[in-house]
Chains A and B, each alone.
Chain A
Amino acid sequence: MKRNPESVLNVLGKTQYLDDLPENAGMLHAAVVLSPSAHGRFSGLDTAAALAMDSSVRVVVAADIPGQNELGTAVFDEPLLAAGEWHYHGQVLALVLASSRSLARKAAARVAVQGAEQLPAVTDPREAAARGNIILSPRTQRSGDVDTAFLACDVVVSGRVESGGQEHVYLETQGAIAWPDDSGGVRLLSGTQSPSGVQKIVARVLGLPMNLVEVETRRLGGAFGGKEDQATGWAALAALGAVVSGRPVKINLNRRDDMVATGKRHPYSSDFRIGLKKDGTILAFEADFYQNSGAATDLSPAIIPRTLFHAAGAYHIPNVRVTGTMCRTNLIPFTAFRGFGGPQGFFVIESAIDAAARALGIEPADIQRRNLLSDGDEFHYGMVAEDPRAKETMERCLAKADWNKLRADIRDFNAAHAGLKRGAAATPVCFGISFTKIMMNQGGALVHIYNDGSVGVSTGAVEMGQGVGRKIALVVADALGIPDSKVKIETTRTVTVANTMPTAASTGTDINAMAAKIACDQLRARLDALAKDRPGLDFVQLVALAHEQRVDLSAHAFYATPGLHYDLATEKGKPFHYHVYGCAVVTATLDVLRGTYQFDDAFIVHDIAHSIDPVIDRGQVEGAFAQGLGWAALEELAFGADGRLLANTLSTYKLPDAHFMPRMDVEFLERPNPGTVANSKAVGEPPLMYGIAGYFAVLDALKAVHPDKPAFYDLPMTPEKALRFLSEEDSP
């Protein structure tokens, strides 16, 4: 069996993450001073107690920044170090350097805020919107004529939907190491999904041209979007520390600081209205999404359109009007997290369908099946569905779960049991692939064939466990006609491939493997030209000959996803290269007495097209589903009314463990996807949405206890919410 060499290192314990690298002599360690509340002003910092601890201690503040004190990309509203005012609990006020990590942390704890004045904090997105605290302008996508369509409906249902935030819990916390360079610049090792993004911001903060900032990313111990923009600040702080001190500086957050001070998935509060014919055909849908964006813009302007693009789920709805508003609150700036606004959109349409099913007296699955996308259907943003696989995957998934028998078995079981109730739900998924910001759909690769026939490949892709390196190696090996053992994937460095995009939006392989393949095709063409006159040479001999004959054995190539266009004025265009489809059926058993539940089975049929590595792809599907299930039915990102994060450690923030997860039965729909590398489809994000079925499976079981009680759409499901539904009254 072929093994991923990266994974071999992992299981041997040899993989070096950022904090595993040997430390340089003289290296300083950094810790941060965080704001103590959600909103406040301060006049300065009292550093005397910290400085008195040791001569190595140094406190770096906003005034020490040689360039711009600004991390923002879309909007300039996110200082690296707060100056005068903080806008969320956990905002960085100062950087503390010391000779050891322990000392730095203890010194940071002794830095006192001076002249603190608490200011009012807004944590609720609707309240922020009502006060006019919004980022940029609301966006609306529409198709057909919703107002007229609602008049023609047999039933119109409206409701409110809440979905909570989600902490990434990448197992390796955020970190960076910076070395001052004799050029006057810095060299950085950064735990980022976006080395070029780090390079740009560090250059801005230090007031340097980008060519004096070199950023390398070796690998990440998980990221999930949490190290897309949110890794930049830590790298910038390390770089600032290195420039200020003239020494190498390492920053590596402990879990609590990481949880308090880094962005997470956006909580949303939404309203919907859905109109249907008696037979379950959806005629009209509208939704208002209030995105809790947090205190700074971060990636929110890219995330809100993805919510809108996915607001109609896997369905064709002829009349749609959906509006998204980015609400500025005094919480941590929320950020990218696998799915990138998509899951919040899906949960609203699935909630609307659940509510509509109740109003019509039919099963949600009947509405789902009736309205799935067909070939040629136009999405509400103007793109036409080509080769949609929604019906195929859902029907296969229902067959896999033996849906009709399952429903009958559940009815029988529930009739026979008072203390336990079972439930089941299906969630079909259709997810668009491409960065929503069109310019980001580009990438480069640099391939070297060394004159012994071994190959080194550099791209903009960052390996974070998703197996992108392995997939690129397989594509390269195939393109060059060599064994994959000859291919080494290099670390991601801004000096080898420049101006790269973050490894995100599920596009890592689509873009970077394609760029690598184009480079390999060039090299192959050069070798093939030689081989014509010298048949019978193997690859190594051919390479030696090429070197001898002064043929360039290196190639750089560039790939920009073709055919994308979007008109912001009309909100119409083709924002996606293609869509990924699939469906999950999840079953759950509810303990009626205690309000607890367990998930029993998950049946998944996923549109993989062609799998470059089935072991990796299966892991992506299962892992994304687990994160989705955690978001839907376990992980509670609890904030206090004062805006402080309450679930700030792994003892208070619970994510899926092995026991939580159901049996998973994953099947691939294999039909090539022309126009992509190896006819594959991206796999990172789409399966996350399957977790939503878990919410509705528990809700289905709850309904078996109280069929007439109105359902609630307040994700995550928790045992507390379940027990409240099971026993409404306030006294015994």
Chain B
Amino acid sequence: MKRVIRFRLNERLYEEEIGSEQPALDWIRKTAGLTGTKEGCREGDCGACLVLLGGRGMDGRPEWKAVTSCTLGMGELDGRHLVTIEGLASGGLTPVMEAMLDEGASQCGFCSPGFIIALTGFLVSGQAIDPVSAMASVEGNLCRCTGYGSIRRAASILARDFADLPAGLERRLPELARRHVLPAALAQLMLEPPEPAGSQGAAFAAIHPEDPSLVDLGGGTDWYVRNPDPDPDLAPRFSDQAPGARSIRAGGSAERPVLELGSAVTVDDFFASPLVRNLAPGIERFAADMASPPIRARATLAGNIVNASPIADLTSMLLALGARLVLEGGPDGERLLELSDFFLGYKKTDIRDGERVRGILIPASPLRFNFEKAAKRARLDIATVNTAMAVTLAPDGGIASVRASAGGVAPVPLRMVALENAMVGKQPSAALAREAGKLAYDCGSPIGDVRGSAGYRRRLMERLTWAHFIRLWPELGLEKELLA
């Protein structure tokens, strides 16, 4: 549906009536005529369509991320700034491009703009500038020609040459301009996100909830995969345009503290949050297990839940964390629902007419947490199965409480209740892990599909349950015993 939006593309400001449902990729290529951004898969899996997306972060300050433009709705660009390869190249070759060239990292070239966007985005926003982090930034990019050796060498050169970049966009962007990574005028504009055409809250509310063409969208990273060419009469309502939706706060009472997550909290936001990291120490190391950097920058927790995929990674984690959903806008007003009660069947949820997710509540008492995922490829792949386990321990080391989830073994994401009951009150041991493994083996009713057979899924659930024990209680050294 057409809406007036104001955004910047490279160095030019646009204020136009544009189909808000249209994928940015199409608009960039066909309307703006900038064809350096490529369509490789149109489902966020190859990175050929990467662009840099600028806006304001959770703290209200400018924020830049590389994102896939094939899953980015134009309506989301109100008050934002896009940079494409043409924007980077307007002053000629940049050091990122030169590193790629000198190492022969561009063969057929179709993926090259995407890699350059990702590596440039890394220099703009990367926390640690080192070779490993540089390569992590291209985990959402596929190249079929090079075997990545030359790309790795180029990334290492950049990590070496730019190791001394200052922290903070305000200092870093001028430095990147000085060193010709970004055109100077562009770098300046990148610190000044444009004002949206309308107040975002107003635009958000303006869409009538009973309109049949209304679609509530999180990051769109899954919706656009299923709707690659959306009808022009659809009216997407983007959750991050709801006032205050992108926030993680401590709340609840002193006896029952909770974390309150807004509906627009992204996967990146979740793993970066000190509140989340305090709750489940070490949880951030599981971020790399799901999707890719450009997808994690956009995908929301609420979207991951409402999408109701039985193998949703975040949902699996949130089940083990004991999350509850806050729903609003329905006939009963606001509702609070255990996450495990939300899923009714395959891709079927208890969401009612007009209802949308307002937030997610997570009990805020610290716990030991582990997540396991099996997939064909270690990075950027959909799980064959996944499982999370969260425990609290009694003073004697016994298991005081446990929540465990299983994805990919049933039409819905599961809580493994029988396994939880068998564990609670016991001392962790290899024998208990075996018993839990048996219960996990039988916890669902898996089917075979392109990602694995039913038998493989059962076996994985057993093995990954053992893995939970090994990782949750590293001090017990259970691995040898379990594998004997």
> Given A7-B101, A17-B38, A105-B229, does the pair A660, B108 have CB atoms closer than 8 Å?
no
**Chain B residues with CB below 8 A from A17, complex form:** 38, 110
A595 and B462 CA atoms in complex are apart in Å by 12
Are A649's CB and B146's CB within 8 A? no
Q: Mark A1-15, 1 if CB is under 8 A from B, else 0.
A: 101101111111111
Task: State which of A105, A220, A419, A657 has its C-beta within 8 Å of the C-beta of B379.
Answer: A657
CB distance B109 to A9 under 8 Å? Answer: yes
Contact A465 B109, beta carbon cutoff 8 Å: yes
Contacts of B149 in A (CB 8 A): 618-619, 622, 661, 664, 666
Given the known A-B contacts A171-B46, A622-B149, A732-B462, are A254 and B228 also in contact in the complex, defined by CB atoms under 8 Å?
Answer: yes
Known A169-B144, A658-B141; judge A12-B107 contact (CB<8 A).
no
A478 interface hit (Cβ, 8 Å): no
- With an 8 A cutoff between CB atoms, is B467 at the interface? yes
Cβ–Cβ contact B229 & A8, under 8 A: no
Determine the residue in chain A with the shortest Cβ distance to B117.
Answer: A13
Contact of A593 among B46, B89, B451, B482 (CB under 8 A): B482
Contacts A11-B101, A12-B97, A651-B382; A593 near B463 (Cβ below 8 A): yes
For the complex, what is the distance from the CA of A732 to the CA of B461, rounded to whole Å?
A: 11
**From A7, A594, A654, contact of B463 by CB (8 A):** A594
- Give the CA-CA distance A636 to B372 in the complex, in Å: 22
CB neighbours of B166 from chain A (8 A): none
Minimum Cβ distance to chain B for residue A534 (Å): 40
Q: Which residues of A from 60 to 82 have beta carbons under 8 Å from B?
A: none
- Evaluate contact between A12 and B148: CB separation under 8 angstroms: no
> What's the nearest-Cβ distance from chain B to residue A691, in Å?
10
Q: Is the CB of B377 within 8 A of A660?
A: yes
CB pair B101 A3 closer than 8 Å: yes
Interface residues of A in 326-367 (CB under 8 A from B): none
For residue B182, CB closer than 8 A to chain A, the reply is no
- Judge whether A659 and B107 touch: CB under 8 Å: no
A179 at the interface (CB under 8 A from B): no
B358 in the interface (beta carbon within 8 A): no
CA distance in complex: A3, B152 (Å): 19
**A724 to chain B: closest CB distance in Å?**
7
Most chain A beta carbons < 10 A, residue from B116, B135, B377: B377
Q: Which residues from chain A contact B371 at a C-beta distance below 8 Å?
A: none
- Neighbouring B residues of A664 by C-beta, 8 Å: 147, 149
Residues of A within 8 A of B (CB-CB), count: 82
For A14, A658, A720, the residue with the greatest tally of chain B CB atoms inside 10 Å of its CB is: A658
* Minimum CB–CB distance for A165 against chain B, Å: 14
B456 proximity list for chain A (CB < 8 A): 720, 723-724
- Selected contact of B450 from candidates A3, A646, A656, CB within 8 Å: A646
The distance in angstroms between the C-alpha atoms of A12 and B112, with both chains bound, is 9
How far is it, in angstroms, between the C-alpha of A651 and the C-alpha of B463 when the chains are bound? 25
* A419-B483, A720-B453 known; A171 vs B38 contact (CB < 8 Å): yes
Give the one of B139, B146, B384, B434 with max A CB within 10 A. Answer: B146
A464 touches B470 (CB 8 A): no
Stretch at the interface among A297-305, A551-559, A568-576, A623-631: A623-631
Given contacts A105-B229, A171-B108, are A634 and B45 in contact (CB under 8 A)? no
Q: How far is the CA of A102 from the CA of B29 in the complex (A)?
A: 14
CB pair B135 A658 closer than 8 Å? yes
- Residues of chain B with a CB closer than 8 A to A595's CB: 374, 460, 463
B381 within 8 Å of A (CB atoms):
yes
Contact B112 A11 (CB under 8 A): yes
A10-B112 in contact given A171-B144, A657-B139 (Cβ < 8 Å): yes
8 Å CB contact of B438 from A10, A622, A649, A732: A732
B430 touches A (CB below 8 Å): no
A-side contacts of B111, CB under 8 Å: 171
Cβ of A133 under 8 Å from chain B: no
B126 in the interface (beta carbon within 8 A):
no
Q: Using A12-B85, A622-B146 as known contacts, say yes or no to A254 and B42 having CB atoms under 8 A apart.
A: yes
With a CB–CB cut-off of 8 A, which chain B residues contact A625?
Answer: 147
Bound together, the chains give a CA A502 to CA B214 distance in angstroms of 51
Tell yes or no: B183 within 8 A of A by CB: no
Chain B minimum-CB-distance residue to A6: B109
Q: Is the CB of A171 within 8 A of B142?
A: yes
Given known A20-B35, A656-B148, contact A719–B40 (CB-CB < 8 A): no
Complex contact B229–A106 (CB within 8 A): yes
CB distance from B150 to the nearest CB of A (A): 6
State whether the Cβ of B86 lies closer than 8 Å to any Cβ in chain A: yes
User: Which residues from B are CB-within-8-Å of A539?
Assistant: none
Is A655 an interface position by the 8 A CB rule?
A: yes
Contacting pair A465 B108 (CB below 8 A): yes
Cβ of A467 under 8 Å from chain B: yes
Residues of chain A within 8 A of B113, CB atoms compared: 10-11, 13
Chain A positions 664 through 675: 1 when the CB is less than 8 Å from some CB of chain B, otherwise 0: 101000000000
Q: Which residues of B contact A168 (CB under 8 A)?
A: 144
A164 to B114, CA, bound (A): 30
B344 at the interface (CB under 8 A from A): no
Least CB separation from A664: chain B residue: B149
Query: Do residues A8 and B377 form an inter-chain contact, with CB atoms below 8 A?
Result: no
Q: Is there contact, CB below 8 Å, between A659 and B45?
A: no
B42, B434, B466, B480 — most chain A CB neighbours (10 Å): B42
Within 8 A of A (CB), among B100-155: 100-113, 116, 135, 138-139, 141-152
Residue A567 CB within 8 A of the other chain: no
B378 near A418: Cβ-Cβ < 8 Å: no
Is B257 part of the contact surface with A, judged by Cβ < 8 Å? Answer: no
Q: Say whether B459 faces chain A, with CB atoms less than 8 Å apart.
A: yes
Q: Which of A12, A17, A594, A618 has the most CB of B within 10 A?
A: A12
**Contact between A593 and B108 (Cβ–Cβ < 8 Å)?**
no
Query: Is the beta-carbon distance between B43 and A649 smaller than 8 angstroms?
Result: yes
Shortest Cβ gap from A705 to chain B (Å): 9
Q: In the complex, A660 Cα to B143 Cα: how many Å?
A: 12
Q: List B residues 22-53 near A (Cβ within 8 Å).
A: 29, 35-43, 45-46, 48
Q: Nearest Cβ in chain A — how far from B118, in angstroms?
A: 10
> Which residues of A sit under 8 angstroms from B143, Cβ to Cβ?
171, 658
Which A residues between 152 and 174 are near B, CB-CB below 8 angstroms?
A: 168-172
Q: When the two chains form their complex, are residues A655 and B142 in contact, meaning their CB atoms are under 8 A apart?
A: yes
A253 to B376 CA separation, bound complex (whole angstroms):
26
Complex interface: chain A residues within 8 A of B85 (CB): 12-13
Cα–Cα distance between A651 and B43 once the two chains are bound (Å): 8
Among residues of B, the one whose C-beta sits closest to the C-beta of A626 is: B147
Q: Would you call B343 an interface residue if the criterion is a C-beta within 8 Å of the partner chain's C-beta atoms?
A: no
Residues of A within 8 A of B332 (CB): none
Indicate if B263 sits at the interface (CB-CB under 8 A).
no
* Residues of A with C-beta under 8 A to B36: 12-14
Query: Could you tell me if B38 and A12 are in contact, using CB atoms closer than 8 angstroms?
Result: no
A residues less than 8 Å from B41 (CB atoms): 255, 649-650
Question: Given A11-B97, A171-B40, A661-B147: A418 and B483 within 8 A (CB)?
Answer: yes
Determine whether the beta carbon of B147 is less than 8 Å from that of A592. no
In the docked arrangement, what's the CA distance between A15 and B450, Å? 36
* CB atoms of A622 and B147 under 8 A apart: yes
Chain A residues positioned under 8 Å from B145 (CB to CB): 222, 465, 619, 623
Residues of A at the B interface (CB closer than 8 Å) are: 1, 3-4, 6-17, 19-20, 102, 105-106, 168-172, 219-222, 224, 254-255, 418-419, 464-467, 592-596, 598, 615-616, 618-619, 622-627, 634, 636, 638, 646-647, 649-652, 654-661, 664, 666, 718-720, 723-724, 727, 730-732
Which 9 A-B pairs have CB atoms at the shortest separation, nearest pair first?
A: A13-B36, A465-B108, A10-B109, A626-B147, A13-B85, A221-B110, A465-B107, A20-B35, A622-B147
Beyond A11-B97, A623-B147, A627-B147, 16 additional contacts (C-beta under 8 Å) are: A4-B104, A13-B37, A13-B85, A106-B229, A172-B40, A221-B110, A222-B144, A224-B144, A255-B40, A419-B483, A619-B149, A636-B376, A647-B450, A650-B40, A664-B147, A666-B149
Identify 19 residue pairs between A and B in the complex whose beta-carbon atoms are under 8 Å apart, listed by A's number: A3-B101, A4-B104, A10-B112, A12-B97, A106-B229, A169-B142, A170-B110, A255-B43, A467-B107, A594-B460, A618-B150, A623-B144, A624-B147, A626-B147, A650-B41, A659-B378, A666-B149, A727-B463, A732-B462
